[in-house]
Amino acid sequence: MSARKAYAAAGVDIDLGNKVKSSLPRLLASTHRREVLGKVGGFGGLFALDTRRYHQPVLVSSVDGVGTKLKIAFAMDRHDTIGQDLVNHCVNDIAVLGAEPLFFLDYLGTGKLEPRVFADIIAGFAKACAENGCALIGGETAQMAGFYQPGEYDVSGTIVGVVEKSRMLDGTRTVRPGDAVIGIASSGLHTNGYSLARKIFFERMKLKPRSRVAGLSNSIGDELLKVHVSYGRLVKSLLRRFNGTAHGMSPKANRQSRAIRAFAHITGGGFIDNIPRVLPKKCDAIIRIASWEMLPIFRFIQAKGGVPEPELYQVFNMGIGMVVIVASQKAEAALGFIRSRQHRAWLIGEVVPGKGRAKII
């Protein structure tokens, strides 16, 4: 028996991996940017940053996964959305600093490589990268026989973006009492809170992923697989509209006069842990929970989950995927601008003197 066949018998089929990966150039073509060098399949992805566009470019990076949302994908045998979730989550994480996404790399680990599943996941990466103007320049696919349960896998991704140093958002230096808080709608749970949601739906309530319940237009599984919204292009448009650099204005002066003070991506930790990341130590954010239209999935969790209300707002996004802190005099204009970009949004609170906390009332 040849060494190659022995390895395949042990659970790692290199030839199958190469065959599956042969489709990557076609899938990745839609994500190409002119700064990308080389070709897919090298030892490293190449990206030539055009430094002429910046005075002081700062690279911004983030790495993440999608957590136990994967369990829903396995149960529903739907894998076309997971890649989008991962890219969009990473884009949002760097967008809050004002960064433009440049390139993305993925990691996929599985026990046995299933061509259909692989193709669906990578197509999701490519779709989201193309929508966000982000190049998909490489990744790693690991076949680890005996490491994962049959039919299961894990994914993670790394994103790198860039922002002009003088344009970088830092709410701890710019947020002040009197600023308004705008909440932008999520599509659902996004990529957080799934361990608790699965316990509520599938253990406590004895539902199945394909169960349908009153008030939800989809099955529980389909509802939980809704794609994590990308706010990247909206953030860029907001900054261009409300924080545009005036001719001849110094970066320091301009920073103090910008209407958009900060963004907070409402991910793991919900409102309670994420909003304080962009607050000065002497400011609190008051969040009024009756100020937005809660999605049916969260009303269902609230009614049936038996979870104390404060914890709900620390685990889930409760229908708000991104928070914008904006100068009060520009709040209505910013709100109208967001809505004109086909995002639902509401004024959900304000900044007051305090100790760097988010308070839910």
164 Cβ neighbours under 8 A, 6+ residues apart = 54, 55, 56, 57, 58
Inside any domain, residue 249: no
The predicted structure's pLDDT at residue 225: 98
Could you say which of 145, 167, 189 is where a domain stops?
167
Share of the chain above pLDDT 70, in %: 95
Average pLDDT of 29-36?
A: 89
CATH number of 312's domain: 3.90.650.10
Q: Per-residue pLDDT averaged across 243-270, rounded?
A: 74
**pLDDT per residue over 330-353, tens digit each?**
999 999 999 999 999 999 999 999
Per-residue pLDDT at 131:
97
8 A C-beta contact, residue 358 and residue 264: no
pLDDT of residue 22: 67
Pairing label, strands 135-143, 100-110:
parallel
Evaluate whether 241 touches 233 at the Cβ level (below 8 Å): no
In a shared domain, residues 206 and 143? no
pLDDT for res 342: 96
CA-based end-to-end distance of the chain: 69
Say what the pLDDT of residue 76 is.
97
Best CA proximity match to 262, nearest among 342, 343, 358, 132: 358
Number of domains in the chain: 2
26 with 116, same domain: the answer is yes
- pLDDT, position 8: 76
Instruction: Note whether residue 251 is domain-resident.
Output: no
Contact between 7 and 14 under an 8 Å Cβ cutoff? The reply is yes
The residues, ordered by sequence, that sit 6+ positions from 261 with a Cβ below 8 Å of its Cβ are: 169, 171, 174, 175, 176, 179, 325, 326, 327
Cα of 76 vs its chain's centroid, Å: 22
- For the chain, percent of residues with pLDDT exceeding 90: 83
Question: Would 250 be classed as within a structural domain?
Answer: no
pLDDT at 18: 75
pLDDT tens digit sequence for 43-61: 889 999 999 999 999 999 9
Same domain, 161 and 292: no
Q: Average model confidence (pLDDT) for the chain?
A: 92
- The DSSP bridge pattern shows strands 320-326 and 180-185 to be antiparallel
Residues 150 and 21 grouped into a single domain: yes
Q: Could you tell me the sign of the dihedral formed by the alpha carbons of 107, 81, 318, 329, in that order?
A: positive
- Model confidence pLDDT, tens digit, residues 123-144: 999 999 999 999 999 889 999 9
Q: Is residue 202 domain-shared with residue 233, that is, in the same domain?
A: yes
Residues 183 and 106 reside in one and the same domain: no
94 and 44 co-located in one domain: yes
Q: Which among 82, 69, 77 is positioned nearest to 157, based on CA atoms? A: 82
For residue 247, being part of any structural domain is answered with: no
CA 126/CA 122 separation, integer angstroms: 6
The pLDDT of residue 51:
93
CA angle 347-194-209, nearest 5°? 115
Distance CA 281, CA 356 (A): 4
Among 149, 167, 185, identify where a domain stops: 167
Picking from 141, 167, 193, the residue at the C-terminal end of a domain is 167
pLDDT computed for residue 252 by the predictor: 52
pLDDT at 270 over 50: yes
Residue range 288-304: average pLDDT?
95
Q: Are residues 156 and 180 in the same domain?
A: no
Tell me if 248 is assigned to some domain. no
Query: 281: pLDDT confidence band, cut at 50, 70 and 90?
Result: very high
In this structure, is residue 338 part of a structural domain?
Answer: yes
Residue 165: name the closest of 250, 102, 98 by CA.
98
Band the pLDDT of 246: cuts 50, 70, 90.
Answer: very low
Is residue 11 predicted with pLDDT exceeding 50? yes
CA 226 to chain centre: 13
Q: Lowest mean pLDDT: which of 26-35, 163-172, 276-285?
A: 26-35
User: How far is the C-alpha of 339 from the C-alpha of 224, rounded, in Å?
Assistant: 25
pLDDT over 90 (residue 257): no
Residue 7 domain flag:
yes
The reply to whether 190 and 155 lie within a common domain is: no
Task: Look at residues 124, 31, 105 and name the one whose alpha carbon lies nearest to residue 62.
Answer: 105
Please report, for the domain that includes residue 125, its CATH number: 3.30.1330.10
Identity of the residue numbered 62 = S
Residue 4's pLDDT is what?
56
| Segment 223-235, tens digit of pLDDT | 999 999 999 999 9
- Same-domain status, 238 and 303: yes
Residue 289 lies in a domain: yes
Is the predicted pLDDT of residue 253 greater than 50, yes or no? no
Whole-number Å distance between alpha carbons of 115 and 19: 9
Label residue 1 by pLDDT band (50, 70, 90): very low
Q: Which residues of 111-131 are buried (b: 16+ CB within 10 A; e: fewer)?
A: bbbbeebbbbbbbbbbbbbbb
- Which DSSP category does 184 fall into? E
Q: Which domain holds residue 101?
A: 3-167
How would you class 133 by CB atoms within 10 Å of its CB: exposed for 0-12, middle for 13-18, buried for 19 or more? middle
Q: Are residues 202 and 271 in the same domain?
A: yes
Model pLDDT for residues 177-218, shown as the tens digit of each residue: 999 999 999 999 999 999 999 999 999 999 999 999 988 989
pTM over 0.85: yes
Residues 138 and 191 in one domain: no
